[in-house]
Amino acid sequence: MNTLKSLVLLVALSALLIGIGAYLGGQGGATIALVIALVMNFASYWWSDKIVLKMYKATELKYENAPELYGDIQELAQNAGLPMPKVYITPQDQPNAFATGRDPNHAAVAVTQGIMRLLSREELKGVLAHELAHVKNRDILISSIAATIATAITYLAYFAMFFGGGRNRGGNPIAVIAMVILAPLAATVIRMTISRTREYGADKGGAEICGNPIHLANALRKLEAASHRIPLQISEQAADSTSHMLIASPLSGKGLASLFSTHPPMEERIRRLEAMVSGMG
């Protein structure tokens, strides 16, 4: 059900992108918009993992560097039926973790130094299982496509503002202004909805992989408290562009701002995990 919902939302994003392209340049504009999206998605598919790992100054770990962490990931990957991913550690003090890579055969799991200090071994295994669930569900690909299409929509909307979309076909200036405001807003909301859907799925999958939903629930409680106290220590732009990849949002949002959060409310994630316990008994 989560996959179907994500696909429907991706179709909505694509339709919005093509619609803006059509408004700017008719059928030719729609084709150009589609080509832009395909090029951006291709680049994201092949190189996003390297870009993200470099942003976070990640260092690859081998078994001899961190035998306990490496062994736990190896065990969880076997539980999930996945190949062993590459393992990275990043220097950030904020406790967090993410997975990246274009498919299960080219995946990487990264943890911050902060999360290694904060969580117990069982709690960390819950987090690692969550990240492996993202890999298994191919959420990295889905999220990358959503992010690149949303970015393309924003750029096209700004292009319309500066160059007067549809001017040669009697374009209405008010319609252009409305599109500039509403199209990026709609794209952002759809992208965030996709991200939240995938987070719920990874929580459920991670609980099944590690065998105990409470381990992940306890980890999320600690991460929620710490992420608001400790900054991520990368640029704001990098934090914003990669926030959907992290297990806990590095950007605090209250009230209206929470609408644009890449993550569901932590309280609801914890409630769902705790509700799984009776079902697994």
Catalogue the active-site residues: 131
List helix spans (H) across 164-257: 173-210, 213-229, 236-242
Residue 73 near residue 88 (C-beta atoms within 8 A) = no
Question: What three-state secondary structure class fits 184?
Answer: helix
**Cα–Cα dist 54/96, whole Å:** 16
**The one-letter amino acid at 263:** H
Nearest to 240 by CA among 188, 198, 202, 200: 188
- Counted residue by residue, the chain has a size of 281
Question: What three-state secondary structure class fits 66?
Answer: coil
Residue 162: partners with Cβ closer than 8 Å, 6 or more residues away? none
Two structure tokens written together for 274: 């705790």
